[in-house]
Structure 1
């Protein structure tokens, strides 16, 4: 039998993979991707046209994007700490909570797949940042507001990651897990800001294929939810440890 610490190291790996993938899918969601260029331009105090041909404008957009990502990461890290603390408080009921959370995540996945629609998840939210455009403080504030205001859109995927965070044995691991989710969501913002002219064509393709992206998100949620509800996420962790013994070094 594997030592507990070694198992936890292996169990963390699939959770991190899921968290990073979920962050990218959150970025590609219908209520995030379309607003990225105007938001970056606003936060940098430039226009979308200037971002296309002016390197100085793109540098300002990159700086704003960094503070924006720091803002949304702040909220996600706090949520990760809260989910982990809650999971520890109800540790004796963890198997039941994981099953219930898995069922909820599956329901969200079926919503994305279009089998039925959950009304509040279809609401589109816009966050206003007042007159803070063009400043690092304004970008950070908008990142905070973004993390809260886009909950109806990010909620289904975020709920899966928070459920995984709640299942971690240590609060630090839950925080780290949400940090990886924030990384998956935030890095694309930075890439678009830094390479906007080159990213225009890929983003246009993504917009045209929003339906496929949404269904991919649904499949991910259903798979993760079923794995959580049935305990197969744990089985997968053990399989990883057997297939990749070097993971024991992280124990």
Structure 2
């Protein structure tokens, strides 16, 4: 039998994969993807047309996007630490937390599928950061505001990752998990800023097919919720340790 510490470390690997994928899905959500170009332009102090035609403008947008992602990451790292601390405090009830979190994620999955709508998840709070963009500090502030203001809209996907972080019951691992989610959400911002002319058409296609993307997200949320509630993620981690013993080095 594997040592508990080794298993817990290896069990983080499937959770990290889920977290990174969840970050990408959050980027593709209806309340994020449509506002990406104007946000990037605002943060860089340029126009969307400049981003398309001027490499220097795209470079400024990339720098601003980097600070924006740092702002996002700050909030999500704090959330990860808080969720893990909660899990540690109620370690004896860990299995109940996982089942409850799984059920909530499944409910959110049905919301994405359109079987019913949870009105509070369709709302968002946008924070006015002033009339002037183009500063690193402003971009960082917008990242903080984005993470807080869009939490209701990102809630269905973010809740799944917070549930996983609570199950880790380790502050460091919880922060790594939410940091990975932030990377999945933030890296696409950097890619769009750097390669806006090449990605303009794919982004337009995604906007036109937002309904399909949202339903796909719903299906994935239901799968993750079932895995959390039934303990499948833990079983998958055991299988990974047996099939790939080198993962024990993470312990």
Offset, 1:124? 4.1
Tell me how many residue pairs correspond in the alignment: 251
Q: Deviations over 1:139-158 (max 9, x none)?
A: 00000000000011101100
C-alpha distance 84-132 of structure 1, shift in aligned 2 (>3 A): farther
- CA distance in 2 between counterparts of 1:18 and 1:181 reads 8
1:76 is aligned to: 76
* Off by >6 Å, runs of 4+ in structure 1: none
Kindly indicate whether residue 233 of structure 2 is the aligned counterpart of residue 221 of structure 1: no
2:49 is aligned to: 49
My pick for the range that moved more, 236-245 or 85-94, is 236-245
Checking the alignment, whether the CA contact within 8 Å between 2:85 and 2:169 is kept in structure 1 is: no
- CA distance in 1 between counterparts of 2:233 and 2:113 reads 22
SS of 2:168's equivalent in the other structure is: coil
2:7 is aligned to: 7
- CA RMSD after TM alignment: 1.0
Q: Deviations over 1:21-46 (max 9, x none)?
A: 00000000001000000000000000
Offset, 1:131? 2.9
In the superposition, the TM-score normalised over structure 2's length comes to 0.98
In the superposition, the TM-score normalised over structure 1's length comes to 0.98
Offset, 1:184? 0.1
Offset, 1:4? 1.0
Checking the alignment, whether the CA contact within 8 Å between 1:132 and 1:139 is kept in structure 2 is: no
2:212 is aligned to: 212
Checking the alignment, whether the CA contact within 8 Å between 1:19 and 1:180 is kept in structure 2 is: yes
Checking the alignment, whether the CA contact within 8 Å between 2:71 and 2:140 is kept in structure 1 is: yes
Offset, 1:132? 4.2
Offset, 1:211? 1.0
Offset, 1:169? 3.5
Give 5+ residue unaligned stretches, structure 1: none
Kindly indicate whether residue 117 of structure 2 is the aligned counterpart of residue 127 of structure 1: no
2:100 is aligned to: 100
